[in-house]
Amino acid sequence: MRKRQAAAGEVDDGQPRLISLQEKHEAQRLLQQALAAGELDEAEYKRRLGRVYQAVTPRELWKASGRRAGSRRRSDRAEIWRMVRLQTAIVVFAVLIMIVVLYGTVIGNQGGSSDISIFPWDWGKD
């Protein structure tokens, strides 16, 4: 499991993977090739080059280099999914509680709760 997480962009300590200077130089080289090929003008090249050297994570490098270097995948993807699962569990729990309260209210309003034992310790005491 750890090897897969490390390959996905995380280091063993759970922090997002940071890019190295070599990756920044590779992105600069790719931007220079795009400038030479005419894909970028000089102003766009300078703007992207500044953003490349400001980038810290592979996703920032990917966005700064115009999808030429880095990684599209977010470094904090596992944390986001963990929070989504937690929020889903909270909502499901709240819905279950609302159903139980609604069921109890319906039984109470119908006046039929005197002969119905709701709690398990009261079952079989008829």
pLDDT of residue 126: 61
Instruction: Note the pTM of the prediction, 2 decimals.
Output: 0.59
Instruction: Work out the mean pLDDT of the chain and round it to a whole number.
Output: 84
Q: Measuring CA to CA, how many Å separate 58 from each of 15, 61, 88?
A: 13, 5, 29
Q: Output b/e per residue, 42-66; b: 16+ Cβ within 10 A.
A: eeebeebbebbeebebbbbbbbbbb
Identify residue 65 by its one-letter amino acid code: S
pLDDT digits (tens, 9 = 90+) for 25-52: 999 999 999 999 999 999 999 999 999 9
CA dist 120 and 110 (Å) reads 21
User: Under 8 Å CB-to-CB from 116, ≥6 apart: which residues?
Assistant: 107
pLDDT digits (tens, 9 = 90+) for 83-100: 999 999 999 999 999 999
CA dist 83 and 96 (Å) reads 20
Provide the token pair at 98.
């609302």
- Name which residue leads in pLDDT, 16 or 10: 16
